[in-house]
Structures are given as C-alpha cells and as structure tokens.
C-alpha cells in the first residue's frame, strides 16, 4: 500500500497541473477546476492499483462528472477567478482574444466543450475522444466542427483587428 501511495503521490505531484488545465476549460473557473480535479483524484485513489492509464481515467471521470450535471452540494469556495491572472506582456488584443474565446467556450454545450478540450487541447485523436465521451467518432467530428466554428466566429473580428497594421 505504501508503494501505491507513493505512486499516487508522485502522479498527483507531476500531473496535477495538466489535469487542472483540462478541468479549467471544462468548468471555466480555476476554483471549480480545483474542485473537479480533487474529486476525480479522490475517486481514483481508492482504485489506484487497478487503473492502468490514470490520465485517461481521470479525464473520463472529470468529463462525466462535469457533463452529467452531477452536482456535489457542499460549502463551495467562492468563485472569483475569471481566467488565470496574466500581467505585463499581454497586449490588449491578446486579452480580448482570450476573453472572446473564454465566453464562446462557456456558451458551448458541456459535451461539445469537452470535445474541444480533448481534441484540441489534450490533442487526442477523434477515436480517443469518442472513447472518453462514450459517443461515436462521427459525433465527435460533428461536435468538434460545430464547436470550433463558434470559437472561430468569436475570434474572427479580433483576428481581423490583429491583421490591421
């Protein structure tokens, strides 16, 4: 059990930020993302030895948790984060771009958002996204296409602005 625990601790310490990024895009909030990753890790902890691919497993758990609207009711931390603070070198357009894409992501249906996160941020092939979401590859293609189109629409005006000298 000690070695299991060591393995789990090492995993948490090395992969936590990666999981947090996925969770952030799913939830849109740093605090909600922490909550989602923590919940998924608690679920994984009890069966650590039996999980052969922890990252894939945790992605699945987080997405199911999030998209099934399973709401854990408890005293929540107050959500104040919009997106992670950035300073200094950001240009106004870059900030506007993130704001636009953020809002567009929040407007997507949860499962479409999950497709975008897994396909384009986790960089999984369509087949693996379908596996994680429990749908066909065709559905992944469809949702990815529609979701990306909306993100594109959100960014297009700013991209035009960016291209103007």
Distance CA 100, CA 1 (A): 47
Contacts with other proteins in 135-164 (CB under 8 A)? Answer: 135-139, 141-142, 145-146, 148-153, 155-156, 159
- Residue 135 structure tokens: 């749908």
Nearer to other proteins, 2 or 32 (CB): 32
- Using CB under 8 A as the binding rule, whether residue 73 contacts other proteins is answered as yes
Nearest 5°: CA angle at 148, between 69 and 36? 30
Residue choice 1, 2, 78, 164 for contact with other proteins (CB under 8 A): 78
Q: What residues have CB less than 8 Å from 98, skipping those under 6 apart?
A: 83
Residue choice 2, 4, 7, 17 for contact with other proteins (CB under 8 A): 17
Contacts with other proteins in 93-132 (CB under 8 A)? Answer: 94, 97-98, 101-102, 104-110, 116, 120-128, 130-132
Nearer to other proteins, 2 or 69 (CB): 69
Asked if residue 50 lies in contact with residue 63, where contact means CB atoms within 8 angstroms, the answer is no
Give CA torsion, residues 38, 42, 47, 51, to 10 deg: 0
- Using CB under 8 A as the binding rule, whether residue 48 contacts other proteins is answered as no
Nearer to other proteins, 85 or 165 (CB): 85
- Using CB under 8 A as the binding rule, whether residue 76 contacts other proteins is answered as yes
Place of tokens 């949702």: 143
Q: Smallest gap, in angstroms, from Cβ of residue 2 to other proteins?
A: 14
Distance CA 104, CA 113 (A): 10
């Amino acid at each position: 059990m000690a070695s299991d625990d060591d393995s789990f601790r090492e995993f948490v310490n090395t992969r936590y930020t990666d999981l947090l990024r996925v969770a952030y895009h799913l939830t849109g909030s740093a605090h909600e993302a922490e909550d989602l990753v923590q919940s998924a890790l608690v679920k994984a902890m009890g069966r650590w030895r039996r999980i052969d691919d922890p990252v894939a497993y945790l992605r699945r758990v987080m997405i199911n948790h999030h998209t099934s609207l399973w709401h854990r009711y408890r005293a929540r931390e107050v959500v104040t984060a919009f997106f992670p603070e950035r300073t200094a070198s950001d240009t106004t357009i870059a900030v506007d771009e993130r704001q636009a894409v953020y809002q567009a992501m929040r407007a997507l249906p949860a499962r479409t958002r999950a497709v975008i996160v897994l396909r384009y941020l986790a960089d999984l092939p369509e087949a693996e996204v379908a596996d994680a979401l429990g749908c066909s590859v065709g559905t992944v293609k469809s949702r990815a296409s529609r979701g990306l189109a909306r993100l594109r629409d959100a960014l297009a005006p700013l991209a035009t602005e960016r291209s103007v000298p």
